[in-house]
């Protein structure tokens, strides 16, 4: 248990809530969840499922009509052809990460994971007893993978490579060429890819390429996806993994031994999410884009901050290293003194030092208040130096 870490965004949220209870006004930019409501047609589908008595246990890998809908969706959207027996539905996308790493990795194995990246990757790699090898995603490279370094880091111990495109916490994206190059590096090797595609509907330029769609990669890839981010369904807890038949059977076994199955009502609602109108996804992405454009521009006007333009997700990852504070100190000061909750870059790995992660899943008026407060805080810190 000592090898498991916490997820700092939730700890920052807890402190922000404490300050609010003490009467402080806080702008919340710390948590990675869309500030939109789940679209109504999905909610109606959940009501209907409840009223129709779809309230019992379901099969461990997920109800068949949902797995059929996921298979169709993946073929249409990700260009990945899959059978329903290769799909395992889970309570949120997170369990796919946990199960995949537990299934594949143990002492003596190495796992290459994005840094900065979703903190649970490193935590679970350590938990499984494997060795985490960071894949640095650097500002100077627009938070893309350094292919030369990756090539050097791959060896006979490498069991799994984790990629996350678009990426949390940077909002950065791997290009199609990056994905093709990674596929080239592993195609002939005994290495799996965990492709975390949870943000793949939220992008502002070219659609991210699923590595599983690249020739020869389907059976070597575990896709992690879900409904939390695309359909504003974080609390519904529904995700899925797509993998080869053998791995899918093992993941189902882990489901039997842990959750039994994802909530049945939620699964019926998710069919509507995939098959119903997609206007809400388009509208949410358009709103995120407007906020991103505002935020990147406004942050770059603050003396001492430089902020890259992210290609996807709903995060920006500004460089705040010029202020001479660690990321954690900066985030703490910003929360306690200026009332803006954001996560220090090192909450996502040591390569996040010198950065702040801001989630722009908040309204434009609130983002404007946050920018004023950040500017004020930066001015005070600069004066004190």
| Contact positions vs ligand PLP (CB under 6 A) | 32, 92-94, 118, 164, 168, 196, 198, 226, 228, 234, 239
Q: How far is the CB of 311 from ligand PLP (least distance, A)?
A: 15
| Residue of closest CB approach to ligand PLP | 92
- Find the shortest distance in angstroms from Cβ 285 to ligand PLP: 16
Identity of the residue, 58 or 92, whose beta carbon is nearer to ligand PLP in the bound complex? 92
In whole angstroms, the minimum distance from the beta carbon of 301 to ligand PLP comes to 28
The smaller minimum CB distance to ligand PLP, of residues 114 and 339, is found at: 114
User: How many other CB atoms are found less than 10 A from the CB of residue 160?
Assistant: 24
Nearest distance, CB of residue 7 and ligand PLP, angstroms: 8
Q: Which is nearer to ligand PLP, 136 or 226 (CB)?
A: 226
Our CB check for ligand PLP shows the closer of 123 and 164 to be 164
Q: Least separation, in Å, of the C-beta of 334 and ligand PLP?
A: 21
Give the nearer residue to ligand PLP in terms of CB position, either 38 or 168: 168
Beta bridge partners of 163: 195
Q: How many beta carbons lie within 10 A of that of residue 125, not counting itself?
A: 25
* Distance between CA atoms of residues 381 and 376, nearest Å: 9
Q: Are 183 and 157 in contact (CB under 8 A)?
A: no
Nearer to ligand PLP, 240 or 377 (CB): 240
Residue 188 Cβ, how far from ligand PLP at the closest point, in Å? 28
CB atoms within 10 A of CB 297: 12
- What order of strands is seen across the sheet that includes strand 192-196? 87-90, 239-242, 221-226, 192-196, 158-164, 110-115, 131-136
| CA-based nearest residue to 260, from 46, 53, 62 | 62
**How many Cβ atoms from other residues are within 10 Å of residue 155's Cβ?**
10
Question: Which residue lies nearer to ligand PLP by CB, 339 or 344?
Answer: 344
- Nearest distance in Å: CB 202, ligand PLP: 11
Please identify, using beta-carbon distances, which residue of 93 and 339 lies nearer to ligand PLP.
Answer: 93
Q: How far is the CB of 283 from ligand PLP (least distance, A)?
A: 21
Q: Closest distance between ligand PLP and the C-beta of residue 53, in Å?
A: 27
Burial class (CB in 10 A: 0-12, 13-18, 19+), 85: middle
Residues in the chain: 385
> Would you say 110 or 196 has its CB closer to ligand PLP?
196
């Amino acid at each position: 248990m000592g090898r498991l870490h916490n997820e700092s965004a939730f700890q920052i949220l807890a402190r922000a809530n404490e300050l609010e209870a003490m009467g402080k006004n806080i702008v919340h930019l710390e948590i990675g969840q869309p500030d939109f409501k789940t679209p109504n047609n999905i909610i109606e589908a959940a009501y209907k499922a409840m009223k129709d008595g779809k309230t019992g246990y379901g099969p461990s890998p997920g109800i068949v009509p949902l797995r059929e809908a996921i298979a169709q969706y993946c073929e249409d959207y990700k260009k990945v052809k899959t059978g329903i027996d290769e799909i395992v539905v889970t309570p949120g996308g997170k369990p796919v990460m946990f199960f995949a790493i537990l299934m594949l990795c143990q002492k003596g194995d190495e796992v290459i994971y994005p840094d900065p990246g979703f903190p649970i990757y490193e935590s679970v790699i350590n938990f499984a007893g494997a060795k985490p090898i960071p894949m640095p995603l650097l500002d100077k490279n627009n938070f893309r993978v350094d292919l030369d370094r990756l090539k050097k880091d791959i060896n006979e111990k490498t069991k799994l490579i984790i990629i996350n495109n678009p990426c949390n916490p940077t909002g950065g994206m791997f290009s199609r060429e990056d994905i093709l190059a990674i596929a080239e590096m592993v195609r002939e090797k005994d290495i799996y890819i965990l492709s975390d595609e949870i943000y793949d509907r939220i992008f502002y330029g070219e659609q991210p390429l699923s590595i599983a769609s690249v020739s020869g990669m389907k059976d070597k890839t575990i896709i992690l996806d879900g409904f939390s981010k695309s359909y504003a369904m974080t609390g519904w807890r529904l995700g899925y993994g797509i993998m080869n038949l053998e791995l899918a059977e093992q993941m189902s076994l882990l489901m039997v031994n842990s959750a039994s199955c994802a909530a049945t009502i939620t699964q019926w609602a998710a069919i509507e999410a995939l098959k119903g109108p997609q206007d809400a996804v388009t509208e949410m992405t358009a709103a995120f884009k407007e906020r991103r454009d505002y935020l990147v521009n406004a942050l770059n006007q603050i003396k001492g901050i430089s902020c890259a333009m992210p290609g996807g997700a709903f995060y920006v990852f500004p460089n705040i290293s010029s202020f001479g504070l660690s990321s954690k100190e900066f985030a703490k000061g910003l929360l306690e003194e200026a009332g803006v909750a954001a996560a220090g870059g090192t909450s996502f790995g040591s390569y996040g030092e010198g950065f702040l992660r801001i989630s722009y899943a908040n309204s434009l008026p609130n983002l404007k208040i946050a920018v004023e407060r950040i500017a004020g805080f930066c001015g005070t810190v600069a004066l004190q130096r």
